[in-house]
Chains A and B, each alone.
Chain A
């Protein structure tokens, strides 16, 4: 980090905190604190929704995913626009008309208190745990790449968010999300243009893209059907649609964003805008990663992108062997670079047979590079059972190759991405804690000022919890991975409950509640005893909830009603 990068980063962080405090200074009642007085215009709603969904890991892991595995990850988002249309047509008008603060309030009016409380507690448990992980994960990456103490990074992100989210509430969160998202996307565009500029002068961007494509990094869509593969068109369209329905329709951190819209129309436009631009945005971020891959076909990458682990391997008991592998890797890279240039030469000549032959040579050279790298992974595996450096690819490039000032800008974008999703989560957790638990179950009719103060305190409480959890997340090992998967284990059930509410009028509270338990059992069965890809859990959970509730309504609740009559 050069002085200019520090200046840009610190100015950006200080600026966003001041902006958040200023925007949230008028939060004087519960309506203002929890739903920004329902005054937000659609473009604020839209970018706040997108900033909430896109965490720092999105901008760090997604380019790395494209680098390692190609662009097929974009298919996870293909069902999202369909979900945006469904939610705009159904959920948004209902939530707006009822003037709810949280999605779970609706469930009490529609079903009963126990269903509302079950959904609220599920959300608090899932989001409460995951907010710590979502603070920890980018902090770890930033601390490793920059050589900073992870506790300092967690405290900077958490402390900054707490300052404006606990004082300004949803208004501060939505306004900062809006600005942060613009800066994040600006940072990504600048990074992309820098990569293109850094390609060798004798290689055009299109030729470099052809090399990346030939090595399987530009595989955006795959129409083959395989229920065990989550990265194909069908799992993205169906499973991804149900995931998006659950996330945007039942997760308070997203529902709260469009509840701030000043009307049904403004909230709908926010969601529809997300439906229009989310898929191309993800494509762009993945393409950024594929472009980094293309860049590293002509500039030698490190054998392992996590510098801390590479250094540990270099200085460990197998250090000499690791350094020998690094030398072999350099030689294999030189060979691959020649093969890449040979392929480009064949493309330029227009000779199809030569291009085919050069393509085979390029793939063989890539296999050789991968073979050498697998030796390095074996050494790293001795102290990390699952060595994975994809999250470090993009930041490694940024810190080594981007010019002064722009490194600070991209780092600020990563900080902002983490802050925006964290702020939305804390704000939603506070809203659910106060509205669905405290005001409904513990202390009713305590007055507006009391609940406003409670909401501010709840934001601080969840912030402190997340910061503490993140500090110790590194010692939790595989639990972090489990928490990351936890969402997909419960979203289907939550979605099923809301689907019953919106579309199946005869179903009442008890049938919905028991149906939810059956749906959760089905998802857990899939998780524990099958190899079904996780995107399908949402569909399975939602369908079983709906079917089981109907059966329970027909045979149990229905017969009880007849008996009573």
Chain B
């Protein structure tokens, strides 16, 4: 942990703020994943981790490396774009699998889909 003395003060303040904010958001998301009672509530916890927490860390990384190398370093945008593109796909796939399995096992009253919103093809 050396070589940070060349970083300007406002960049250091920005990076520190983003890192502390992102760390708190990530802990909140993981806490939601661990503590919420039903699966359909738990799936909302990691969403904040993948969007806001990862966004804060990626912007902090871009600012710090741009300041350290005295040139624009924006290759973290690759991770940002990939995460923002794939997070909804992953959430949708897991959600579809969960809905399918809950309906197949006739599991209701656990926050799962009830009523005639979702139906299995053989119903």
A, B assembled together = no
